[in-house]
Amino acid sequence: MKPMTPLSVLDLSPVAVGSDPAQSLRNSLDLAQHAERLGYNRLWLAEHHNMRGIASAATAVVIAHVAAGTSKIRVGAGGIMLPNHSPLMVAEAFGTLASLHPGRIDLGVGRAPGTDQITAQALRRNLDQDINGFPQDVVELMGYFREPEPGQRVIAVPGAGLKVPVWILGSSLFGAQLAAALGLPYAFASHFAPAEMERAIEIYRARFEPSEHLDRPYVMLGLNVFAAATDAEARLLQTSQQQAFVNLRTGKPGPLPAPVENYEETLDLHAKAILRQALSCSVVGSPETIRTGVQDFIQRTGADEVMVTGQIFDHAARIRSYEILADVMINPDAVLRSGSLS
């Protein structure tokens, strides 16, 4: 029997309308504790800046908060936007996390700024660095996690010798090629940029070079999942993410909106096209719909792992969505014994 494909959680620590970042960060810890109990493999947080609807800007700090409140689940970054930071400072931060929580910390890195250009300027003070420097920064970063060499003058403390797992994140073919060349695991952002997913997977697997980090390709794919008791209820939950996405793409980002009945019917053709293209990797519905949809996605893509996300306005409904997914995909035997998915 083929082993179950691991499922993990991507938490953007959403700030809902009427709430605040403090509550969002408490919710992130609560979600992580539930995910650990339900059997999810890992929980990642992502670096975004100048976004009123996302509370995880200081990503390493939030990872420390979540890891301290859990005991087994892997916790990491999905990801750290490396152009915003020096590789040494990232190595020290994640070396510290790995020292505090041995064997539980992941470091996914991406080359986008995770924000707009004005905010990127504020983060970096200037934007003069080589845009093609990302591969060199990744190699430098990984070097800080190795045992120091004789005469090495710059050492990450903590960090040196800890071999923190590094992942390459991407939404284009560039990350696939880099991850393959370096022999690293690859996470593709199909939950919001699915256009090149199949080609990126193909390139990564075809060009993968075994390394000290990984002996064969390992692909994790993002998937939006909105689960509820009925298909209609799940579609209503999804409208919060749909609104947030349209707002972001039309230059009006803000806190996560409350659900709206029949939201898509209010949109023009351009907005409908944005949602249809960007959020096509989504499974929305009742437990049986979720089971079928997630299984189909895994079979179609051959994903080694699936990272699930879902921007849901009500925190209790978000927890319930992950419970339903776990019931049908991670712990189905327990569901059969209980005899209920409600």
CATH of the domain at 79: 3.20.20.30
Q: Check residue 331 and give its pLDDT.
A: 86
Q: Check residue 1 and give its pLDDT.
A: 33
Of 13-22, 277-286, 326-335, the one with minimum mean pLDDT is 326-335
User: Has residue 121 been placed in a domain?
Assistant: yes
Q: Check residue 179 and give its pLDDT.
A: 98
Q: What percentage of the chain reaches a pLDDT higher than 90?
A: 85
Q: Check residue 3 and give its pLDDT.
A: 61
Which distant-in-sequence residues (6+ apart) come within 8 Å of 114 by Cβ? 46, 47, 48, 49, 81, 84
Q: Check residue 124 and give its pLDDT.
A: 66
User: Has residue 280 been placed in a domain?
Assistant: yes
User: Has residue 27 been placed in a domain?
Assistant: yes
Range of the domain at 257: 7-338
User: Has residue 89 been placed in a domain?
Assistant: yes
Q: Check residue 278 and give its pLDDT.
A: 93
Q: Check residue 342 and give its pLDDT.
A: 43
User: Has residue 2 been placed in a domain?
Assistant: no
pLDDT reading at 338 higher than 50 = no
pLDDT reading at 117 higher than 80 = no
Of 42-46, 112-116, 211-215, 307-311, the one with minimum mean pLDDT is 112-116
Confidence of residue 151 (pLDDT cuts 50, 70, 90): very high
DSSP β-ladder status, 74-81 and 282-285: unpaired
| Structural domains counted in the chain | 1
Structure tokens at 101: 């929580």
pLDDT reading at 337 higher than 50 = no
Which distant-in-sequence residues (6+ apart) come within 8 Å of 155 by Cβ? 144, 148
pLDDT reading at 173 higher than 90 = yes
Which distant-in-sequence residues (6+ apart) come within 8 Å of 206 by Cβ? 180
Q: Check residue 305 and give its pLDDT.
A: 98
Is the Cβ–Cβ distance between 289 and 328 less than 8 Å? no
Cα separation, 72 vs 104, whole angstroms: 7
Residues in the chain: 342
Q: Check residue 129 and give its pLDDT.
A: 63
Confidence of residue 131 (pLDDT cuts 50, 70, 90): low
pLDDT tens-digit map of 204-235 = 999 999 999 999 999 999 999 999 999 999 99
Confidence of residue 336 (pLDDT cuts 50, 70, 90): very low
pLDDT tens-digit map of 251-288 = 889 999 999 999 999 999 999 999 999 999 999 999 99
3-state secondary structure (DSSP) of residue 256: strand
pLDDT averaged over every residue in the chain: 93
User: Has residue 1 been placed in a domain?
Assistant: no
